[in-house]
């Protein structure tokens, strides 16, 4: 705002005031031509990006953008050109002179040619939000993490399953799911107390995480139940992983009481299912994948526990709820039996 006493000063004084604002603004002010060439950058670029504004003039703005975020800017530019939008907002990572990424919030205005209506220049206001972004990611991780075991929680599992499901359909690959339930865990809690139960859960969680691949997703489903998503894993690979997980849990030992010689062990039952993307589009849904793994887990619990039950590799969407499963038996590994019954409402299966 111009002070009243200066309102009648020549226009040059007003322009100096605007220049003063631009040169002292904490955000980076920038103008970019329709050809993406930078025309002006305010001095704040030196503080935020460690770049000399003079050296940025004439450069392609895309050179300053983190490679994975360039498409975000392109999409906004395309929408502005097509729909005539004047304002837009986006979060992207810009690169410092040493190529360190900086999260920025960019408010952009498209200035158009008054005759042709074509975009002529983009005016950008760019704010450093790296600190805010780090905090958001920490809060998001807390919201997605089980406080006791450090595994992903049920919400994170739901998101991961949807994400990996879409990836499997897009890539025409396979996706496997393991549901695991600790056997007689309630009895362990009742007999030895919740501290030992908590120790058991955290140790089992670590054992599972150490057994599977870094790309696999291990989640605490709830209580003593855990889920493991195996991206790009076929039927046989999922069965092998499930057996490794079962054996790793069985090998664990816990001291029943401090300074006592009594040791306690636990076992786990595991249900396994694999979804295969079919050329004709006949594929299961994530919900049916869960249902099939749930049935396999219930059968493992029902048939003696401490074993792996593997459902058939293909669960078509039209048959997932009623499929009768064939058998694949070994010492600790079985296929689904012919009853086709799922877990009743009062079972401790998933």
DSSP, res 326: P
Domains of the chain: 4-135 (3.30.450.20), 145-335 (3.30.70.270)
Q: Which of 250, 263, 275 is nearest to 180 (CA)?
A: 250
160/292 Cα distance (integer angstroms): 18
| DSSP per-residue string spanning 86-101 | -EEEEEEEEE-TTS-E
Active-site option among 216, 224, 294, 348: 224
193-to-197, 200, 229, 253 alpha-carbon distances in Å = 7, 11, 31, 16
224 is catalytic: yes
Beta strands, E only, 115-188: 119-128, 174-182
Beta bridge partners of 222: 225
Q: What's the angle, vertex CA 95, arms to CA 89 and CA 96, rounded to 5?
A: 125
Mean pLDDT for back-to-back runs of 10 residues, the chain (350 residues): 47 65 93 93 95 94 91 69 69 94 92 86 93 89 90 93 89 92 93 92 96 96 94 94 97 83 92 77 70 94 94 52 36 42 36
Q: Is the pTM of this model over 0.85?
A: no
pLDDT (0 to 100) of residue 342? 38
pLDDT (0 to 100) of residue 140? 84
Q: Which of 98, 97, 91 is nearest to 128 (CA)?
A: 91
| φ, ψ (nearest 5 deg) of residue 189 | -60, -45
Q: Three-state DSSP class for 327?
A: coil
DSSP, res 275: E
């Amino acid at each position: 705002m111009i002070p009243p006493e200066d309102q009648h000063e020549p226009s040059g004084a007003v322009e100096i005031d605007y220049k003063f604002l631009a040169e002292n603004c904490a955000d980076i002010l920038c103008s970019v031509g329709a050809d993406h060439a930078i025309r002006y950058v305010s001095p704040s670029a030196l503080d935020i990006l460690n770049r000399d504004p003079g050296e940025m003039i004439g450069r392609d703005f895309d050179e300053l953008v983190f490679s994975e975020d360039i498409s975000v800017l392109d999409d906004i530019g395309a929408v502005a050109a097509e729909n005539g939008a004047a304002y837009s907002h986006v979060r992207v990572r810009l690169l410092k002179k040493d190529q360190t990424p900086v999260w920025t919030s960019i408010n952009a205005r498209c200035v158009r040619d008054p005759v042709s209506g074509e975009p002529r220049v983009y005016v950008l206001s760019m704010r450093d939000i790296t600190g805010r972004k780090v905090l958001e990611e920490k809060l998001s991780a807390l919201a997605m993490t089980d406080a006791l075991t450090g595994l992903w929680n049920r919400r994170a599992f739901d998101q991961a399953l949807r994400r990996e499901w879409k990836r499997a359909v897009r890539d025409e690959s396979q996706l496997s799911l393991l549901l695991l339930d600790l056997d007689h865990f309630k009895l362990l809690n009742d007999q030895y107390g919740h501290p030992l139960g908590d120790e058991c859960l955290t140790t089992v969680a670590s054992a599972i995480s150490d057994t599977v691949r870094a790309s696999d997703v291990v989640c605490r489903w709830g209580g003593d139940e855990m889920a493991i998503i195996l991206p790009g894993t076929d039927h046989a690979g999922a069965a092998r992983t499930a057996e490794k997980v079962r054996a790793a849990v069985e090998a664990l030992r816990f001291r029943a009481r401090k300074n006592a010689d009594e040791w306690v062990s636990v076992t786990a039952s595991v249900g396994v299912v694999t979804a295969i993307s079919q050329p004709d589009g006949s594929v299961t849904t994530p919900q049916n994948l869960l249902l099939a793994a749930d049935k396999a887990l219930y059968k493992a619990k029902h048939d003696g526990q401490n074993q792996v039950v593997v459902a058939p590799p293909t669960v078509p969407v039209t048959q997932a709820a009623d499929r009768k499963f064939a058998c694949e038996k070994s010492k600790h590994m079985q296929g689904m039996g012919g009853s086709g019954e799922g877990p009743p409402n009062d079972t401790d299966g998933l």
